[in-house]
């Protein structure tokens, strides 16, 4: 069997999860509590027999712990399924008294960088209840701070004010005391919701001092299970239950309580009340960890730009962009190296753009390229060191991969931009045709204008190496390989491939690929291939980055390979495109792997039982 000769452990790296602002793992101490309450003390707190006593007691203690932690004297906590439910409950509570009574001259004020749950809940309940208030976004400065003057100017017309403690993408911490002052302090009129999800465990929140009416919390952001949270409600603030039922939570939230989740939350509160007995680290330690990771990131990308005020933001969050890269490329690179980070952006049409960074007025390249790297407050020094070491190793591999092929045909964005170039390394000349503006960043990185002479091709016919360029105009041109006689036609939008080209391509699963009976053509980007090699079943796997796909489609023959060929990428999208491009030009049959290199590597590893 071929696969036994492959060094799988080298290809297979343990996962490093650096996306704690999205969620955190349940820590063993918490999972033991959850297990005990699910398996042993599983009684229903509403039961009047003895089995209900312990769960009832646990809920009461959790409520007391919440009050103690947040220094609450005049309010209460309701346990629920998390922050989204808390936000909806708060909005419903404020708007329900206006149901059916249109309030056209009023506004619902919310921060432009809120989590989507806030504007969506406002929109939903405003419409369902027929309140007809206007939704009004509070603008932010470039450092993410809400415009306090704007809040001051609109508070008197606001039915509700929604702000957040800290932002999930950027870690920007809002000045809640300044907001409180802007709306009149303790004498304020407008009901105020603070989404406190990201401050829990990172920034102290004093609900005894601040005139906040509603505050939402979620356990899974601080090592608790998903689907558990709580809502703080100030005494006297309007309240309408989101769900009615058997009278649980003093009639304020129907439904049998998630006792295991509440007990987990109680333990988290207890850690925060007694930090000396907790696995959570101090802000100083976390800030030093962040600095350590940032230094490693700067080695990987010396030109990175931070999209957050530093060091003033949450000490567990780094948000950065790198000129010349969009976030998908960087995530793919980290993913291949076994590090999970996120774009911190919602996917809209075209390239994903972070609405949070857009609201902060950052340039669009930063919004398109944003990467969020976040770790939990219980991260150990060893974990941070391991992450920094892995990122440093990525930097070394990236540097080594930058010394690849230079001469020959290059078409950097084959399906988006009409641009082709032929590089002659001995003459240090790049002959090009098409729209160079749209591929400027790629050109600068690959062929720096200080070292290379750029020559634009006017209409006509040219020969470079084995290639013939036929230029009809700057928008339409053909490239022919003189050996295979295959021709590629480009217009101003690049190569036209119809969907039917893709649907005719035969796919193959990673399990079949893992049998090792195919020749692999790895069509991921250099940033990915240098982080995780594809298994080499028969000599070297052929590597072809996007800018090289057209050359591959023009030149590829199977005469020497002798095995069926499979294109492989991260998840099966790019591999189908490349196989379709090769087929469209009349090249040899290439199958597309409908999984990715990581799937194949893990299947091989499972066979060797190394993971
Ligand atoms: N608010 C913020 C700032 C968040 O980060 C999240 C989590 O993604 C939520 C609200 C929603 O929380 P939950 O998952 O508990 O509904």
DSSP assignment of 213-261 equals: SEEEEEGGGGTS-TT-EEEEEETTS----SS-SS-HHHHTS-S---HHH
Among the residue ranges 61-65, 499-503, 588-592, the one predicted with the least confidence is 499-503
Beta carbons within 10 angstroms of residue 463's beta carbon: 11
CB hemisphere CA count around 477 (13 angstroms): 29
Query: Which among 20, 21, 115 is the best mutation to test ligand 1's pocket, defined by most ligand atoms within 8 Å of the CB?
Result: 115
Q: What is d(CA 94, CA 109) in angstroms, rounded to the nearest whole number?
A: 13
Nearest CA owner, ligand 1 atom 8: 22
Looking up tokens 């306090």, which residue turns up? 148
Q: Across residues 251-265, what is the average pLDDT?
A: 97
Predicted pLDDT of residue 344:
64
Q: Which residues, other chains included, contact 250 with Cβ-Cβ below 8 Å and sequence gap of 6+?
A: none
Q: What is d(CA 494, CA 419) in angstroms, rounded to the nearest whole number?
A: 7
By percentage, how much of the chain surpasses pLDDT 90? 82
Distance 114 CA to ligand 1 centre (A): 10
Residues 348-361 pLDDT 10s: 445 678 999 999 99
Which is the closest atom of ligand 1 to the Cα of 82? 15
Distance 393 CA to ligand 1 centre (A): 33
Q: Across residues 131-137, what is the average pLDDT?
A: 97
Q: Is 195 in the pocket of ligand 1 (CB under 6 A)?
A: yes
Distance 197 CA to ligand 1 centre (A): 6
Looking up tokens 């295991």, which residue turns up? 260
Predicted pLDDT of residue 15:
87
Which is the closest atom of ligand 1 to the Cα of 220? 15
Q: Is 229 in the pocket of ligand 1 (CB under 6 A)?
A: yes
Q: Is the CB of residue 519 less than 8 Å from the CB of residue 542? A: yes
What are the backbone angles phi and psi of residue 150, rounded to the nearest 5°? -65, -45
Is the bond preceding 162 in cis, omega lying within 30 degrees of 0?
Answer: no
Please state the separation of Cα 343 from the chain's center in Å: 3
- Domains along the sequence of the chain with CATH: 3-22+281-401 (3.90.1150.10), 28-277 (3.40.640.10), 408-490 (no CATH), 499-609 (3.40.250.10)
Higher per-residue pLDDT: 37 or 13: 37
Distance 409 CA to ligand 1 centre (A): 48
Q: Is the CB of residue 508 less than 8 Å from the CB of residue 594? A: yes
The neighbouring-strand residues paired with 79 are 230
| Whole-prediction pTM | 0.83
Is the torsion defined by CA of 552, 555, 556, 560 positive or negative? Answer: negative
**Strand, coil or helix: what is 569?**
strand
Q: Across residues 371-386, what is the average pLDDT?
A: 96
Q: Is 520 in the pocket of ligand 1 (CB under 6 A)?
A: no
Q: Across residues 443-471, what is the average pLDDT?
A: 95
CA distances (Å), origin 54, targets 37, 43, 252, 263, 348: 10, 8, 21, 11, 48
Distance 344 CA to ligand 1 centre (A): 13
CA distances (Å), origin 245, targets 229, 253, 346, 541: 19, 7, 35, 61
Q: Across residues 27-53, what is the average pLDDT?
A: 95
Which is the closest atom of ligand 1 to the Cα of 195? 1
Q: Is 115 in the pocket of ligand 1 (CB under 6 A)?
A: yes
Residues 538-597 pLDDT 10s: 767 788 999 999 999 999 998 778 889 999 999 899 999 999 999 999 999 999 999 999
Query: Which among 23, 85, 117, 172 is the best mutation to test ligand 1's pocket, defined by most ligand atoms within 8 Å of the CB?
Result: 117
Query: Which among 80, 82, 319 is the best mutation to test ligand 1's pocket, defined by most ligand atoms within 8 Å of the CB?
Result: 82
Q: Is the CB of residue 97 less than 8 Å from the CB of residue 126? A: no
Q: What is d(CA 265, CA 280) in angstroms, rounded to the nearest whole number?
A: 14
What are the backbone angles phi and psi of residue 32, rounded to the nearest 5°? -65, -40
Q: Across residues 252-265, what is the average pLDDT?
A: 97
Distance 341 CA to ligand 1 centre (A): 17
Among 544, 509, 535, 525, residue whose Cα is nearest residue 597: 535
Among 464, 460, 455, residue whose Cα is nearest residue 473: 460
Nearest CA owner, ligand 1 atom 7: 22
Rounded to the nearest integer, the mean pLDDT of the chain is: 92
Distance 258 CA to ligand 1 centre (A): 18
Which is the closest atom of ligand 1 to the Cα of 164? 3
Query: Which among 165, 168, 261, 344 is the best mutation to test ligand 1's pocket, defined by most ligand atoms within 8 Å of the CB?
Result: 168
Confidence bin at 54 (pLDDT 50/70/90): very high
Q: Is the CB of residue 409 less than 8 Å from the CB of residue 488? A: no
Q: What is d(CA 337, CA 340) in angstroms, rounded to the nearest whole number?
A: 9
Q: Is 197 in the pocket of ligand 1 (CB under 6 A)?
A: yes
Nearest CA owner, ligand 1 atom 9: 83
Confidence bin at 610 (pLDDT 50/70/90): very low
CA distances (Å), origin 473, targets 248, 430, 456, 476: 74, 18, 12, 5
Distance 66 CA to ligand 1 centre (A): 19
pLDDT at position 235 over 80: yes
**Strand, coil or helix: what is 70?**
coil
Predicted pLDDT of residue 604:
85
pLDDT at position 9 over 60: no
Q: Is 202 in the pocket of ligand 1 (CB under 6 A)?
A: no
pLDDT at position 123 over 90: yes
By percentage, how much of the chain surpasses pLDDT 70? 96
Distance 584 CA to ligand 1 centre (A): 46
Distance 80 CA to ligand 1 centre (A): 13
């Amino acid at each position: 069997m071929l696969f036994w000769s492959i060094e799988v452990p080298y290809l297979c790296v343990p996962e490093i999860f650096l996306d704690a602002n999205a969620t955190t793992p349940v820590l063993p101490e918490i999972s033991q509590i959850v297990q005990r309450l699910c398996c042993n003390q599983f009684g229903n707190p509403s039961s009047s027999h003895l089995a209900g006593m312990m769960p009832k007691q646990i809920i009461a203690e959790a409520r007391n712990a919440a009050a103690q932690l947040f220094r609450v004297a005049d309010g209460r906590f309701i346990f629920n399924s998390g922050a989204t439910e808390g936000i909806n409950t708060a909005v419903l509570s404020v708007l329900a008294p206006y149901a059916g009574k249109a309030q056209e001259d009023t506004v619902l004020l919310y921060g432009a960088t809120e989590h989507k749950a806030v504007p969506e809940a406002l929109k939903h309940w405003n419409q369902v209840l027929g309140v007809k208030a206007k939704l009004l976004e509070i603008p932010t400065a470039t450092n993410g701070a809400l415009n306090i003057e704007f809040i001051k100017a609109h508070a008197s017309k606001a039915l509700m004010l929604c702000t957040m403690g800290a932002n999930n993408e950027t870690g920007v911490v809002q000045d809640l005391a300044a907001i409180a002052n802007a709306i009149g302090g303790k004498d304020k009129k407008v009901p105020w919701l603070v989404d406190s999800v990201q401050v829990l465990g990172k920034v102290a929140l004093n609900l005894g001092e601040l005139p906040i009416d509603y505050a939402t919390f979620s356990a899974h952001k601080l090592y608790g299970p998903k689907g558990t949270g709580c809502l703080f409600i100030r005494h006297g603030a309007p309240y309408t239950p989101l769900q009615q039922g058997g009278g649980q939570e003093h009639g304020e939230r129907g439904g049998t309580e998630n006792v295991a989740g509440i007990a987990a939350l109680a333990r988290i509160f207890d850690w925060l009340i007694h930090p000396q007995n907790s696995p959570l680290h101090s802000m100083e330690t976390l800030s030093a960890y962040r600095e350590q990771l940032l230094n490693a990131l700067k080695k990987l990308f010396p030109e990175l730009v931070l999209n957050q005020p530093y060091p003033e933001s949450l000490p567990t969050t780094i948000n950065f962009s790198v000129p010349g890269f969009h976030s998908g490329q960087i995530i793919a690179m980290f993913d291949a190296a076994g590090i999970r980070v996120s774009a911190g952006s919602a996917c809209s049409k075209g390239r994903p753009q972070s609405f949070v960074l857009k609201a902060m007025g950052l340039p669009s390249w930063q919004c398109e390229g944003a990467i969020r790297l976040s770790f939990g407050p219980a991260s150990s020094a060893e974990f941070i060191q391991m992450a920094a070491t892995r990122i440093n190793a990525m930097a070394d591999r990236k540097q080594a991969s930058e010394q690849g092929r230079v001469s020959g045909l290059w078409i950097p964005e084959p399906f988006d931009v009409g641009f082709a170039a032929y590089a002659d390394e001995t003459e240090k000349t790049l002959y090009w045709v098409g729209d160079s503006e749209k591929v400027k960043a790629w050109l600068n990185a690959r062929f720096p204008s200080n070292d290379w002479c750029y020559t634009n091709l006017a209409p006509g016919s040219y020969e470079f190496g084995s290639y013939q360029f036929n230029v009809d105009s700057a928008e339409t041109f053909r490239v022919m390989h003189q050996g295979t006689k295959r021709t590629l036609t480009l217009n101003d939008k690049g190569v036209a491939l119809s969907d039917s080209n893709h649907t005719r391509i035969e796919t193959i699963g990673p399990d079949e690929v893992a049998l090792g009976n195919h020749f692999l053509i790895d069509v991921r980007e250099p940033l990915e291939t240098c982080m995780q090699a594809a298994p080499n079943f028969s000599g070297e796997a052929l590597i072809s980055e996007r800018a090289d796909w057209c050359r591959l489609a023009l030149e590829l023959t199977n005469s020497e390979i002798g095995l069926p060929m499979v294109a492989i990428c991260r998840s099966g999208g790019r591999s189908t495109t490349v196989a379709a491009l090769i087929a469209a030009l009349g090249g040899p049959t290439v199958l597309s792997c409908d999984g990715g290199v990581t799937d194949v590597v893990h299947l091989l590893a499972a066979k060797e039982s190394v993971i």
